[in-house]
Amino acid sequence: MNVNPVPPSPTPGRSGTGLTRRKLFWSLGLAIPLVSLSAGFALWKSRPARRPPDSGLALSSAVRHTRLDTRAAAAGELERAREECTAALAEVPDHASALIVLVCISLEAGELDAAQDVLARLGALAPGQPELRILEQLLANQRRAAPAGWGQAFLESWTELGRPDRQASVLLPESIPPALDEPALESAWTRAPSSRARLTLALLSPNPAEARARWVLQQVPQLDDSALLVAAFDLLRDKRLAVSVQQEAASVLRQRFAQLAGTSPRAMQLRLFHLLVGTGREAPLEPQELDALEAISVLPTWKEDSFTRPFLEARRCLEELAVPGSRGAAFAVAERALGHRGVLLLLWRAAATRERLSEDERRRMGRMLWLIGSRLTEQSSLLEHSVGTSLMASGAGSLLHGRNQREAFAREDEVHAAVMTSLRAALGRWPLRSLSEQLLESRARSEVTWLRAFMGKGALP
């Protein structure tokens, strides 16, 4: 999905760091679920721990089979995964990545003695490696009368080992950047039983065709789900669409935002997007827009919905349509429903307005940005938290409050550290479907809490 360029930072001395981190947050928020946790969107390749003397063709064949067995295991296709594992190990008996996949297959199938046997083989090849110790702890957990969840058991084991960085592991299968299965999506579109199901599929497209965008626009007047309306807003403001589509969409979206905002009188989100829809990022905020923004900023909450609901509804829809990688795809749909690019538009327009204002007017706008950002940071998703801290930093810069600036930067630093720490676990390289599913469901409940758990600050949600 397209991510808008980042608005300029108003804060001297921190702008380079702030911009880099915000770019990281906004890109990772879309990438992590698909790369790390989708289980079906990713293709895989493996890198053996050591090359046997007859590496050549045998090793090449083993690597090919390991790609297939890893993908099948991550998707829960255990018989197919086992067949590919057997073929890989027939070519190279000591192929460590294939053995790790075989352990994961046995754990997934509940074949604990078989998992123990394969771990013994791995122990002879790579004694004491963190990957093996984590798998041993997962096995031990499954032998308990009341085992902990897969995600919590993994996190506890990884934490006890000192949170080792496995991103460059030579034992784990190595992930390839994911890609949507366009033919599968088109097949699902033809089978979709309702416009709601087709809308979910349309929201998955990172580059919607004009015909598909116009179909989404036709659904807007009937949308009574605020999350889907925000997601449609995100899709229809794509600058790659024809100008005529964008202009028509702005009028229709503005009307529907006004109608649904009345059902959420305490929430900011729909009112803010009603104010901003159809405007350009270089356009300064006009006086009447600042008045409307001030009224929005004093509302008590950002939105009256959770991230979990649209995620679960999208997942149910995509599973019924047998879309590959339905869980990771559902997370992407739910993230589109956050509307974070609409908040970026506010940041751009505030930046374009700042120099036109008197000092008192700048302080007034700064208070608005700070208040809206504060409400965003109360949300559970990484994207909302990240754009919220950016709004707070921008507002603090206009307010000239050093303490407020430090608070915003501290929040930004904390989440940045949590993101970077979680990446060290290389979650997308463990082909264990139950682990991936539980981690994704936990993350959907509260992504910020989920990230903090990887820093040792509480349990997984």
Using the CB atoms, write b or e for 449-461: b if 16+ within 10 Å: bbbbbbbeeeebb
| Ordered per-residue pLDDT tens for the chain, 461 residues | 444 444 544 443 344 334 344 443 433 333 333 333 333 333 223 333 344 444 568 888 888 888 888 888 888 899 999 999 999 999 999 999 999 999 999 999 999 999 999 999 999 999 999 999 999 999 999 999 999 999 999 999 999 999 999 999 999 987 755 567 788 888 999 999 999 999 999 999 878 889 999 999 999 999 999 999 999 999 999 989 999 999 999 999 999 999 999 999 999 999 999 999 999 999 999 999 999 999 999 999 999 999 999 999 999 999 999 988 888 899 999 999 999 999 999 999 999 999 999 999 999 999 999 999 999 999 999 999 999 999 998 998 888 766 777 887 888 888 899 999 999 999 999 999 999 999 999 999 999 999 999 999 999 99
Sign (positive or negative) of CA dihedral 377, 379, 382, 387: negative
Model confidence over 425-451: pLDDT tens digits? 999 999 999 999 999 999 999 999 999
Cα 53 from Cα 57, distance rounded (Å): 11
Where does residue 384 rank: exposed (0-12), middle (13-18), buried (19+ CB within 10 A)? buried
Residue from 164, 109, 32, 25 nearest 440 by CA: 32
pLDDT reported for residue 31: 37
In a domain, 5, yes or no: no
Please tell me whether residues 21 and 63 are part of one structural domain.
no
pLDDT reported for residue 74: 85
In a domain, 1, yes or no: no
Residue from 92, 89, 73 nearest 81 by CA: 73
Please report, for the domain that includes residue 134, its CATH number: 1.25.40
Question: Final residue of a domain: which of 176, 197, 216?
Answer: 176
Please tell me whether residues 236 and 380 are part of one structural domain.
yes
In a domain, 9, yes or no: no
Please tell me whether residues 330 and 279 are part of one structural domain.
yes
Reduced to 3 states, what is the DSSP secondary structure of residue 7? coil
Sign (positive or negative) of CA dihedral 366, 354, 274, 242: negative
Average pLDDT, the chain: 86
In a domain, 429, yes or no: no
pLDDT reported for residue 55: 54
pLDDT reported for residue 6: 45
Please tell me whether residues 133 and 232 are part of one structural domain.
no
Question: Final residue of a domain: which of 145, 176, 207?
Answer: 176
pLDDT reported for residue 402: 66
Please tell me whether residues 153 and 200 are part of one structural domain.
no
Residue from 125, 132, 139 nearest 161 by CA: 132
Is residue 174 within a helix (H) or strand (E), and if so which, with residue range?
Answer: strand 174-176
Residue from 48, 131, 43, 42 nearest 88 by CA: 48
Cα 438 from Cα 450, distance rounded (Å): 12
In a domain, 446, yes or no: no
In a domain, 98, yes or no: yes
pLDDT reported for residue 57: 80
Contact 301, 272 (CB under 8 A): no
In a domain, 459, yes or no: no
Q: HEC string of 395-415?
A: HHHHHCCHHHHHHHHHHHHHH
Please tell me whether residues 161 and 190 are part of one structural domain.
no
Contact 425, 138 (CB under 8 A): no
Chain-centroid distance of CA 406 in Å reads: 27
In a domain, 8, yes or no: no
Model confidence over 47-86: pLDDT tens digits? 333 444 445 688 888 888 888 888 888 888 999 999 999 9
Neighbours of 134 (CB within 10 A): 21
pLDDT reported for residue 13: 39
Residue type, 186: E
Domain count for the chain, please give it.
2
Please tell me whether residues 355 and 278 are part of one structural domain.
yes
Question: Final residue of a domain: which of 125, 143, 176?
Answer: 176
Residue from 236, 240, 246 nearest 202 by CA: 236
Please tell me whether residues 317 and 242 are part of one structural domain.
yes
Q: Which range of residues forms the domain containing residue 308? A: 15-37+182-423
